[in-house]
Structure formats: C-alpha cells, structure tokens
Amino acid sequence: MTLRHLIVALLAGLLACQPPTLAGGAVVGSAGPSDRALVRGTPLQQGTNIFSGDVIEVGEGGESVVTFGHNAMARLAAASAVRASRDSSTIGLELLRGRMTFRSTPEQPVVGSFVDALVRAEGGREAVAIVAFHNATLVAITAERGALEVTAGREHRTVSVPQGQTVEVALVDDTAANASNAPPAKPQDSNTTNNKKAGGAAAWTTGAVLVGGAAIGGGLALSRSQTQLTCPQKGALVSPYAFPCP
C-alpha cells in the first residue's frame, strides 16, 4: 500500500468514527460520580462529557450524577434512562424510565419531560424537581424546592405545583372517550398522594384527568414500578440542600 492510499484509509476511518462534537452534538454537561451507568454503550466515568442526544442508562443498584454548570444538575436513580439535549439556553432531560431529580437555576434552566409533558421551574426561578414513573401509566412530579409548572395533555394545560407538593399525571390512550372532560383536582401533598389506592386508578381509566389536572395521550413503553422514597433518600437526592425529616 502506498503512502497516499494509507492517508486516504486513515481519513476515511476518522470520518466514519467522528465523535459527537464533530458530528454537531453540543456538550450538555459532564458526568459526576456515577455507578453502573452507561452512555453510548460504554461505562460512564466521572468527567465524561455528555452530548446532546446522548441517553444515560443506569443499571440496577446504580446511580448517576450529571452537572450542567451554574449549580444546575441531575441525579438519576437505579434502573433509569434519560435522554439529554441542549438548545441555545436550556438543558432538556427526557425521562424514558425510572426516576430523576434535577435542579434548575435562573442562570442555567433545566426542563424535564416525559412523553409529551414538560416540567419546568415556575417563573424561571431556582427549583428542585423529582420526576418518577410509578408504573407504566402513572408519573409523579414532586416540587422538592421551589415551585414547578407542569404542562401536559392534548390541550397543553399547565398546572402549578407548590413546594412540597406532588401531582400525578395519568398516561392514557388518545382514543379514550371524553378524556378532556374530567375536572381537574387540586395538587396533593406527597404523603396524601402516596395513600391513593386502586379506586383512584380506576377513576384515571375512566376520567383520564385527575390528580394535578393533567393527562397525556399517546403510547408509552412499559417501565418498572418505582418504590416510594424515604425521607433520608429524598434528602440525598436534593443535596446540597437540607431536607427536614420528622
């Protein structure tokens, strides 16, 4: 092989294996301490850059932290997957399964999403949100610090979630009859929400819009049920903020 052929072969290899930065992907953030987490099929190491479009997958018993600068960050729980993205000013985190906690700041806004719902800090202020799949048809959004705005449904309705409260979003089929006619309910305290039983689930099947006044149309891949966080676990998730436990 001549030198010219060798150079051509090397250039072809580089073009075929160009990293995300060369492919046009913007840097979203960098990995913090992580365990049993993967990105682009390789173990996620602390300091690894996360690019727009990357999916971070956390295995059983693991966790992952991603920092975005300006005190904004996200923590992914075990058995979770999140797709990261970035536009000119906002970080996007799409929860595909499991549970994530994220902190949004005025200097670096972070917007969470799942299916066609959006979770953002109210008024662009600092906020800490927990978004969790409880099962394949129910997602809970908790405002751990600050207030949140949750936008969902075919009509893109927005509800406010005060600090310390939780809304539950039912995932329903677009063909469900009269899905948009059910009256919204007030956001519930976290402890009250956890006490809802099968009777409420039946109402979501027929009413489609209940707790928090938000419903989503469209299919959803199955996701593992999420166990309820203990108070110390919640405190760890929102660190460095102190979380008062009784």
* Residue-wise pLDDT tens digits, 52-88: 999 999 999 999 999 999 999 999 999 999 999 999 8
pLDDT tens sequence across 192-238: 444 433 333 322 222 223 343 333 332 232 233 333 445 554 444 44
Q: Which residues, including other chains, have CB under 8 Å from residue 17's CB and lie 6 or more apart?
A: none
* Beta bridge mates, 222: none
Q: Are 109 and 120 in contact (CB under 8 A)?
A: yes
Confidence of residue 136 (pLDDT cuts 50, 70, 90): confident
Per-residue pLDDT at 231 = 52
Q: Where are the chain's structural domains?
A: 19-106, 115-241
- Interatomic CA distance for residues 244 and 246, integer angstroms: 7
Confidence of residue 29 (pLDDT cuts 50, 70, 90): very high
Q: Which residue has the tokens 């009777």?
A: 199
Q: Give the predicted TM-score (pTM) of the model.
A: 0.66
Structural element, H or E, at residue 118: strand 117-121
- Interatomic CA distance for residues 119 and 141, integer angstroms: 8
Q: Are 74 and 82 in contact (CB under 8 A)?
A: yes
**Closest of 54, 204, 231 to residue 138, by C-alpha:** 204
- Interatomic CA distance for residues 144 and 165, integer angstroms: 8
**Closest of 85, 94, 201, 212 to residue 152, by C-alpha:** 212
pLDDT tens sequence across 143-175: 999 999 999 887 888 999 999 999 998 876 654
For 187, counting Cβ atoms within 10 Å of its Cβ (0-12 exposed, 13-18 middle, 19+ buried), the class is buried
Pick from 101-105, 126-130, 159-163, 242-246: least confident = 242-246
Cα–chain-centroid distance for residue 131? 6
Q: Which residue has the tokens 């998730």?
A: 237
Q: Are 141 and 129 in contact (CB under 8 A)?
A: yes
Q: Which residue has the tokens 């993205």?
A: 85
More confident residue, 38 or 246: 38
Q: 48: how many CB neighbours lie within 10 A of its CB?
A: 20
- Interatomic CA distance for residues 10 and 5, integer angstroms: 9
**Closest of 184, 172, 175 to residue 212, by C-alpha:** 184
- Interatomic CA distance for residues 118 and 112, integer angstroms: 6
